[in-house]
């Protein structure tokens, strides 16, 4: 991966698609991904759902090159994610489940980090963009705070602002609404959905929040124990007869029997 | 062990390869440089003063017995600048700065901050390792110069004030001037430069290798400090042999 010195601002503004072909990954002999094949089309919101431990996040990390596959490949706009010049050519971003903000930097510095490090804009312009993006995620005036002063939800929104600064062609969200109250989750979900209208971006969202997934997705994939068990539009997935899919989609809390 | 050494060598060469980007990261270099000086200067003074004093205290009476007490300036001077200042200061810096480097980078690794950098196409070696390695490689020899001067002062003071030695300041420094050559000081500074690279590379490498949670960070810090000290002591022998 090249650094700021060699980084050239990519001039493409279109959304890019991702293709996963025969992806396999094991950790310490335990197979986590057992041959994943899927295609995310340019410009769509693609949600990967599944129970905890099913391999969703590992799949997402492969899609941005943070993990090396044991077998198979990931193609971004037809090019392997492992190719060294890919990150220079396309603007990819990821919103981590924890936010993964740099704790030694302020919120403003975190949000502007990509522009600062790659020296893409003058400092005044960066400050303006940072303010604008923070306002967009409802965190106006938090520029000078440190991540340790923010709540979990606020950190996640800062992470989204940091991803938006990149003007991404592909943005990956790892559990963007987990640990959030329903109102904040709705705000984040709306933000992910509205982003599609504002900029040409492909969004891949990993979530086990069924409400959010069916609310924003163009297509959904359900993953179970490292295998994709269903792919399609929300309606198609809802109608999928597979018992695992139906169990995942229709299990609800039911404490009624305790009261009676 | 050999795999670790290979990885460290690779990290070092990659960091060297990124030296042309130094100007771009100058602010981070200054910040780290300030951290090294600010965190260590007082400790360097205290340690060096007492090391100089102890050397004078141990050797002075023996030299008096043999009737060569005037040579104490040269003895303390050589011991401090060629061996004690570079080695002791490097060990001090391994404990203070190496540990904090391993902890900071280790915690960034554990809490996915390094992954976040990579997704932003920011190379962690350029962003984290380069500024730290450059600042320690410049900072440690400067601290050693400081340590040499304070150590000589400590030795001179003890030689002057201790009744069993009784060598005044003027005689102490006259003998030191006659005995210690510029090349002796340069030898010590060269050693400290090599040790600085060892502390920087070992600590950053250990930080980048961190896995697990807080316990993993603690393990990395301990390993970084222990490995630095072991490597400093072993390298010290070979460098001394080389520079004889």
What's the complex ipTM?
A: 0.86
Alpha-helical segments (H) within A99-140: 107-111, 113-117, 123-136
d(CA A20, CA A46): 13
Residues of A within 8 A of B211 (CB-CB) are none
Residues of A within 8 A of B107 (CB-CB) are 103
- My answer on whether A179 and A252 are in the same domain is yes
State the pLDDT at residue A258: 57
- The whole-chain average pLDDT of chain A stands at 87
Cα→Cα distances B161→A117, B35, B56, B168, Å: 56, 36, 11, 8
What burial class does residue A51 get, using C-beta atoms within 10 Å of its C-beta: 0-12 exposed, 13-18 middle, 19+ buried? middle
> The domain containing residue A127 runs over which residues?
101-167
- Split at pLDDT 50, 70, 90, the class of A3 is very low
Which tokens hold the place of B212? 């697990």
| Interchain proximity B113–A93, CB inside 8 Å | no
Residue (of A74, A15, A12) closest to A195 by Cα position? A15
pLDDT in tens, A91-104: 999 999 888 999 99
Closest-CA distance of chain B to residue A255, Å: 35
Closest-CA distance of chain B to residue A96, Å: 8
- My answer on whether A156 and A199 are in the same domain is no
| Interchain proximity B112–A117, CB inside 8 Å | no
Which among A4, A65, A93 has CB closest to B24?
A4
Of A135, A167, A199, the last residue of a domain is A167
| Interchain proximity A5–B24, CB inside 8 Å | yes
- Based on the structure, what is the number of domains in chain A? 2
- My answer on whether A161 and A187 are in the same domain is no
Residue that wins the pLDDT comparison between A21 and A138: A21
By the 8 A CB rule, do A222 and A236 touch? no
Residue (of A238, A246, A195) closest to A220 by Cα position? A238
Q: Three-state SS for B108?
A: helix
Residue A31's domain is classified under what CATH number? 3.40.50.300
State the pLDDT at residue A1: 40
d(CA A122, CA A115): 9
- My answer on whether A79 and A181 are in the same domain is yes
d(CA B182, CA B159): 23
| Interchain proximity B24–A96, CB inside 8 Å | no
- My answer on whether A125 and A205 are in the same domain is no
Residue (of A48, A46, A68) closest to A227 by Cα position? A48
By the 8 A CB rule, do A220 and A209 touch? no
Contacts of A103 (CB under 8 A, 6+ apart): A146, A147, A148, B107, B111, B113
Q: Specify if A141 maps to a domain.
A: yes
Of A113, A140, A167, the last residue of a domain is A167
Mean pLDDT of A57-80: 93
State the pLDDT at residue A108: 96
Which among B113, B115, B126 has CB closest to A3?
B126
Residues of A within 8 A of B119 (CB-CB) are 64, 66, 92-94
- My answer on whether A174 and A259 are in the same domain is yes
Q: Specify if A2 maps to a domain.
A: no
> The domain containing residue B126 runs over which residues?
2-243
State the pLDDT at residue A187: 81
- My answer on whether A151 and A212 are in the same domain is no
d(CA B3, CA A149): 40
- My answer on whether A191 and A260 are in the same domain is yes
| Interchain proximity B121–A66, CB inside 8 Å | no
d(CA A172, CA A170): 7
- My answer on whether A179 and A238 are in the same domain is yes
Residues of A within 8 A of B113 (CB-CB) are 100-103
- Based on the structure, what is the number of domains in chain B? 1
- My answer on whether A71 and A116 are in the same domain is no
> Would you write out chain B's pLDDT as a tens digit for each of its 244 residues?
778 889 999 999 999 999 999 998 999 999 999 988 887 899 999 999 999 999 999 999 999 999 898 899 999 999 999 999 999 999 999 999 999 999 999 999 999 999 999 999 999 999 999 999 999 999 999 999 999 999 999 999 999 999 889 899 999 999 999 999 999 999 999 999 999 999 999 999 999 999 988 899 999 999 999 999 999 999 999 999 998 8
- My answer on whether A64 and A188 are in the same domain is yes
Cα torsion angle, A81, A87, A92, A97, sign: positive
d(CA A196, CA A202): 8
Residue A4 in this model has a pLDDT that exceeds 60? no
Residues of chain A that touch chain B, judged by Cβ-Cβ distance less than 8 Å? 1-5, 7, 61, 64-66, 87-88, 92-94, 96, 98, 100-104, 113-114, 117-119, 166
Q: Specify if A212 maps to a domain.
A: yes
- My answer on whether A178 and A156 are in the same domain is no
């Amino acid at each position: 991966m090249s650094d700021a010195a060699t980084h050239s601002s990519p001039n493409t503004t279109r959304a890019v698609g991702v293709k996963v072909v025969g992806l396999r990954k094991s950790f310490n002999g335990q197979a986590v991904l057992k041959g994943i094949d899927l295609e995310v089309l340019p410009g769509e919101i693609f949600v990967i759902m599944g129970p905890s431990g099913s391999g969703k996040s590992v799949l997402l990390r492969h899609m941005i090159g943070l993990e090396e596959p044991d077998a198979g490949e990931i193609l971004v706009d037809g090019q392997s994610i492992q190719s060294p010049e890919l990150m220079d050519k396309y603007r990819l971003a990821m919103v981590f489940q924890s936010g993964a903000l740099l704790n030694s930097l302020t919120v403003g510095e975190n949000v502007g980090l990509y522009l600062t490090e790659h020296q893409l804009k003058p400092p005044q312009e960066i400050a303006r963009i940072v303010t604008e993006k923070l306002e967009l995620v409802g965190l106006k005036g938090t520029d000078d705070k440190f991540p340790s002063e923010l709540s979990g939800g606020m950190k996640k929104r800062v992470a989204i602002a940091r991803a938006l600064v990149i003007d991404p062609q592909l943005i990956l969200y790892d559990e963007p609404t987990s640990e959030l109250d329903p109102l904040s989750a709705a705000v984040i979900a709306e933000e992910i959905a509205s982003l599609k209208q504002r900029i040409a971006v492909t969004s891949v969202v990993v979530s086990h929040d069924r409400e959010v997934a069916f609310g924003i997705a163009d297509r959904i994939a359900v993953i179970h124990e490292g295998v994709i068990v269903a792919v399609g539009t929300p309606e198609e997935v809802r109608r999928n007869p597979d018992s695992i899919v139906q169990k995942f989609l229709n299990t609800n809390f039911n404490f009624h029997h305790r009261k009676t | 062990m050999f795999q670790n050494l290979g990885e460290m060598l690779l990290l070092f060469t990659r960091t060297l390869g990124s030296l042309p980007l130094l100007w771009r990261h100058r602010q981070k270099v200054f910040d780290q440089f300030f951290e090294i000086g600010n965190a260590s200067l007082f400790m360097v003074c205290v340690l060096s003063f007492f090391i100089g004093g102890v050397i004078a205290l141990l050797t002075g009476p023996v030299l008096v017995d043999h009737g060569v007490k005037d040579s104490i300036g040269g003895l303390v001077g050589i011991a401090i600048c060629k061996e004690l200042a570079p080695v002791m200061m490097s060990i001090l810096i391994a404990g203070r700065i190496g540990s904090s480097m391993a902890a900071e980078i280790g915690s960034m690794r554990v809490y996915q901050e390094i992954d976040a950098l990579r997704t932003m196409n920011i190379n962690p070696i350029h962003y984290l390792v380069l500024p730290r390695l450059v600042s320690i490689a410049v900072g440690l020899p400067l601290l050693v110069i400081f340590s040499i001067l304070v150590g000589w002062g400590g030795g001179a003071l003890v030689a002057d004030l201790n009744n069993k030695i009784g060598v005044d300041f003027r005689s102490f420094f006259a003998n030191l001037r006659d005995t210690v050559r510029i090349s002796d000081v340069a030898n010590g500074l060269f050693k400290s430069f090599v040790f600085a690279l060892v502390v920087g590379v070992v600590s950053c490498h250990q930080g980048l290798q961190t896995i697990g949670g807080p316990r993993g960070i603690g393990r990395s810090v301990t390993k970084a400090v222990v490995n630095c000290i072991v490597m400093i002591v072993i390298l010290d022998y070979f460098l001394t042999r080389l520079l004889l």
